[in-house]
Structure 1
Amino acid sequence: MGATSGLEGKAIVVTGGGRGVGAACAAELARLGARVVVNDVDAAAAKRVAAGIEAAGGQAVAQPGDVSSRADAAALVGRCVDEYGRIDGLFNNAALMAVGDLGEYDEQAFRDLLDVNVVGVANCAAEAIGPMYRQGSGAILNVTSGAHLGLRHMSLYAATKGAVASLTYAWAAEAAGTGVRVNALSPFARGHMTRMTDDYLIAHGHADAPFAAPPPESNAPVVAYLLSDRAAGVHGQVVRIDGTRLSLMAHPAIIAPILDRPAWTADDVDRAFRELLGARQAPVGIAYTEPATTERVPPVPFD
């Protein structure tokens, strides 16, 4: 274990820890000295990962449960506090995946996604934030996705991950100055989600399948850093890791200039787009941008 990992003795909950990114990150957190509670809706998988950590000399317990249930989320955080006396970190990783175009919309599938990917994230964070506030420290790391920037065939999944990003921004604002940090991770890894996507694309004749995805373990160092004391200055950010590429994702922002006039008509709006706003439209799909600013930009008169 590294003496300067910033994770020694930390008590961390990992949701969706039974496989993939969750399992890889639970193992890495434990290797670096954290005490881990492994959660998964698949009880056998959670127990298997916890047992593997223990066999490797780390500390871990399994707490199976469905994060979409507030009671299960409360039991999960309660298990961490009962077992280790505190909760220092929450890796809010549990999620479901769906692939398909709008014409293939499945209402029940969307409700299932919302229950786990959004309600589940909120349930676990809501249970963790109280103990963290009381101890004056802690780190919540949600999991979003680059898909929320706009990716074909993934609108339902992307919508839930966009919601997670928005929750992250708002919770970070709420937690400012409390000692609790809230960030999000946009990971990428080979696993059941990429297999679902590959199967869909292949079945629909797309030549760009299968995806070339890195192993789940490639995400673990970033998760370990963001949950550690070494990331004390990182708050309210979405961090992207894509194999060998590390970056920050931009927050939503209002694009300057802001045009102002006493009243707007449809003709005025048409002229604004023809003369100025049309050229400032954001591109459709995943894009790259320079850092934005929080400085208030005064409106520009549009006569």
Structure 2
Amino acid sequence: MEPSNDIKGLIRQSPPVDVSKPYDASTLKGKTIVITGGANGLGSFMVREWASHGANIIVGDVDDTAGEQLVASLTAQYPDSAFAFQHCDVTDWDSQVSLFEMAVNVSPHGGIDIVVPNAGIILPDASIQFEEPVLKNGRLPKPNTKQFDVNITGATYTTHLALYWLPQSGSSPRDRCLLLVGSLASLCPFPTQTMYTMSKHAILGLFRTLRSTAFRNGVRVNMITPYYVSKSNMLKLPVEAAFLSGTAGGATIEDVIDAATRLIADEDIAGRALCIGPKLKSAGVHGVEDEDDLMAVQERENNGQGRAVWECYAGDYDNVDAFVKRYILLLNAAERVKGWFGIVTDIWSMLRRK
């Protein structure tokens, strides 16, 4: 019998997520969550939802007024939980270090359980200007890379801090989770939005890499990849209307928050990503039923409205041998395939040579 090439068990990846099944959000009670970009938009909806389940939440954001008002409201509504806001520019390393240090001091149990690098921006004009360069005063100005600063550097800083603080036990061993916030732009290109698409592809790379290693330190890594979210204040209303015109519509705030809550609250889910968009039905669509990676949605699901949440990038580790062989052939390797961990060991050995 051929040996199995499926290594999901070795990296502690959980089984596929059945989004039709209920989950227990009460597991969030007493847990301490750090979230960046939590004062407005989707972040603020996440904060409110998780606070309703008894979580302690530390919010970092550049909008001091909105952040302080949010925390004051939650403190009055849920006096038994701990809430705090601190000004945090995610592109500033020291600012993020200070946020995490404050979170540990505020946490009732002295530790951090969940980290959500949520801060992100989209600058439509910056991408258009990148793709259509125009001289200014006779010279070509450098492109606006602020989306990289916030969406990549900021998320990298938050993740680095999370990988240090999450394994710290606090007063007792606890479940630990890192929830990355990608986008549909992590999975496919958004035409004319090159910079944003590049930045969200980076988050996907972070997820696909970390989910195979973070388990060693007891950290679950999951990701949400929402499509444009209606009424999330991501874009101005006229732009939102134009953007969604003639399409299936955007994802709803409720569906995105539910998916995010499932991934942090269900302690059995690890290494999984959920894509959230408009409610879609694949049953009866020519060719879709034959796709292995897309489960047909029956008309009866969600009262006939279809499904909004789908699992994505679930098969990276189903058969790594084929992946390794392709690269071995490309590199004209002479020896037989060693397997995934043999290759990783060799790479690490080369990288660590002085």
Which residue does the alignment assign to 1:199?
239
Call closer, same or farther: CA 1:252–1:95 in 2, change over 3 Å: farther
Which residue does the alignment assign to 2:123?
98
Tell me if structure 2 keeps the 8 A contact 1:20–1:216.
no
Map 1:46-57 → 2, pairs under 5 A? 46-57=67-78
2:46 to 22, 25, 29: 25
2:268 to 221, 224, 233: 233
2:204 to 140, 150, 165: 165
Shift of 1:194: 3.8
Tell me if structure 1 keeps the 8 A contact 2:39–2:59.
yes
Which residue does the alignment assign to 1:41?
62
Shift of 1:208: 3.5
Which residue does the alignment assign to 2:165?
131
Shift of 1:176: 2.4
Matched residue of 1:220: which SS? helix
Tell me if structure 2 keeps the 8 A contact 1:40–1:66.
yes
Matched residue of 1:139: which SS? strand
Call closer, same or farther: CA 1:207–1:239 in 2, change over 3 Å: closer
Partners of 1:209 and 1:54 in 2: how far apart? 42
Partners of 2:219 and 2:58 in 1: how far apart? 19
Matched, 1:75 2:98: yes
Tell me if structure 1 keeps the 8 A contact 2:43–2:118.
yes
Map Cα deviations across residues 255-285 of structure 1 (whole Å, 9 max, x no partner): xxxxxxxxxxxxxxxxxxxxxxxxxxxxxxx
Tell me if structure 1 keeps the 8 A contact 2:28–2:50.
yes
Partners of 1:51 and 1:214 in 2: how far apart? 29
Which residue does the alignment assign to 2:249?
212
Partners of 2:244 and 2:250 in 1: how far apart? 16
Partner letter of residue 249 of structure 1?
A: C
Partner letter of residue 236 of structure 1?
A: G
Which residue does the alignment assign to 2:87?
64
Partners of 1:296 and 1:210 in 2: how far apart? 39
Partners of 1:72 and 1:236 in 2: how far apart? 29
Partners of 1:69 and 1:103 in 2: how far apart? 28
Call closer, same or farther: CA 1:127–1:295 in 2, change over 3 Å: closer
Tell me if structure 1 keeps the 8 A contact 2:255–2:309.
no
Map Cα deviations across residues 110-149 of structure 1 (whole Å, 9 max, x no partner): x211111011111111112112223264111111111231
Which residue does the alignment assign to 1:287?
none
Matched residue of 1:23: which SS? helix
Partner letter of residue 119 of structure 1?
A: T
Determine what percentage of the aligned residue pairs are the same residue.
23
Bigger shift: residues 80-89 or 185-194: 185-194
Partners of 1:184 and 1:53 in 2: how far apart? 26
Gap regions ≥5 residues in structure 2: 1-22, 134-140, 280-307, 330-354
Partner letter of residue 86 of structure 1?
A: G
Q: TM-score, normalized by length of structure 1?
A: 0.75
Which residue does the alignment assign to 1:246?
309
Matched, 1:178 2:221: no
Tell me if structure 2 keeps the 8 A contact 1:18–1:45.
yes
Bigger shift: residues 167-176 or 97-106: 97-106
Matched residue of 1:39: which SS? strand
Which residue does the alignment assign to 2:34?
13
Matched, 1:152 2:191: yes
Q: TM-score, normalized by length of structure 2?
A: 0.65
Partners of 1:143 and 1:3 in 2: how far apart? 21
Shift of 1:243: 4.8
Q: Please, what is the CA RMSD of the aligned residues?
A: 2.9
Partners of 1:212 and 1:3 in 2: how far apart? 29
Tell me if structure 2 keeps the 8 A contact 1:194–1:211.
no
Tell me if structure 2 keeps the 8 A contact 1:147–1:154.
no
Partners of 2:314 and 2:132 in 1: how far apart? 30
Partner letter of residue 52 of structure 1?
A: S
Matched residue of 1:87: which SS? coil
Partners of 2:48 and 2:142 in 1: how far apart? 36
Which residue does the alignment assign to 1:273?
none
Shift of 1:32: 0.6
Map Cα deviations across residues 208-240 of structure 1 (whole Å, 9 max, x no partner): 369833443432222222122x2x332222211
Where does structure 1 differ by over 4 angstroms across 4 or more consecutive aligned residues? 105-108, 298-301
Partner letter of residue 118 of structure 2?
A: N
